[in-house]
Amino acid sequence: MKAIRVHELGDPEVMRLEEVPDLQPGAGQVVVRVKAAGVNPVDTYIRSGLYPRKPTLPYTPGNDAAGVVESIGKDVTRVAVGDRVYVAGTISGAYAEQALCNESQVHPLPQRVSFAQGAAIQVPYATAYRALFQLARAASGESVLVHGASGGVGVAAVQLARAAGLTVIGTAGTERGRGLVAEQGAHHVLDHHAAGYLEQVLTLTGGRGVDVVLEMLANVNLGRDLKVLAQGGRIVVIGSRGTVEIDPRDAMSRDAAILGMSLFNISGHDSARVHAALGVGLENGTLHPIIGQEMRLVDAPRAHRAVMEPGAYGKIVLIP
């Protein structure tokens, strides 16, 4: 089978399409014929060598994929050969024609969800769900600012929050992105490059501020997020690409919480709960991943450049 292989960490061009041996499942394992693989910003951090998690070389990048179960090992009971599935992490890497997974990493993909959409579930939707409900404990009737709503995690967060009965304010940096955020169910959409846009968060909430902020670029926004937070508000730091200065008094005066998260830390128990909830939303259509670009597996270097550029529009996926 063909797979993207990385023999040394560095620029996107270290990713090369190579022929590798077909995968065989061990006990409790599943081999998935990959129809689409999701590209996430974290894949680029790991490939560059600048991320704390270092892969054992050579490796195949990617956590997210969707496809059809090709073979199963001894004692596998949750899926059968021929099932449509999405994967929430793999043992062997996702940018390939096949992926080896533990049985617990494989979840049913409803007929209404395409393989490309299936490759856009794990990192974006599990992150958004965990941030909103397991960390911020967002509740119906509350308000949320999805700060960076046009990309993978943001779109997922808007759909999840809207379906759960929150008032949703989403931001994007382009007109196309703002159109997408509105279509996905945000009640209000702001431009995170416009002067004074965060003051509108106060206006939109009657001066009270938002209950929850999901922050995609904390190094730019964290200090200002605190100033538009309601009493008892919670900020979940999902993305950050540097350091930031905050005034702790803004948090103290609001009894506010700043919660960091890394999806890599999620327990098996919490992950099972996340996917039980996502499965229902995918089945009933409240969750519908948006695919902005499809590229060939061989174009993985181009995909890594694209995912780090401004002007996000849903997800980029690779098609083997």
Q: Which residue has the tokens 């948090």?
A: 251
Q: Which is nearer to ligand NAP, 30 or 278 (CB)?
A: 278
- State how far the Cα of 279 lies from the Cα of 281, in Å rounded to an integer: 6
How many other CB atoms are found less than 10 A from the CB of residue 300?
Answer: 24
Q: Which is nearer to ligand NAP, 164 or 263 (CB)?
A: 263
Q: Which is nearer to ligand NAP, 171 or 205 (CB)?
A: 171
Q: Which residue has the tokens 């949750």?
A: 78
Min dist CB 71 to ligand NAP, Å, is 30
Min dist CB 48 to ligand NAP, Å, is 12
Q: Which is nearer to ligand NAP, 169 or 312 (CB)?
A: 312
Chain residues binding ligand NAP by CB under 6 A are 40-42, 123-124, 127, 147-154, 171-174, 177, 192, 216-217, 220-221, 238-239, 261-263, 307, 310-312
> Do the Cβ atoms of 127 and 263 come closer than 8 Å?
yes
Min dist CB 115 to ligand NAP, Å, is 19
The sign of the dihedral angle between the CA atoms of 131, 134, 137, 141 is: positive
- State how far the Cα of 190 lies from the Cα of 144, in Å rounded to an integer: 13
Min dist CB 28 to ligand NAP, Å, is 26
Which residue in the shown chain puts its C-beta closest to ligand NAP? 151
Min dist CB 250 to ligand NAP, Å, is 18
Q: Which is nearer to ligand NAP, 210 or 307 (CB)?
A: 307
Give the dihedral of Cα atoms 98, 99, 104, 110; nearest 10 deg. Answer: -50
Question: Which residues have C-beta within 8 Å of that of residue 245, sequence separation ≥ 6?
Answer: 223
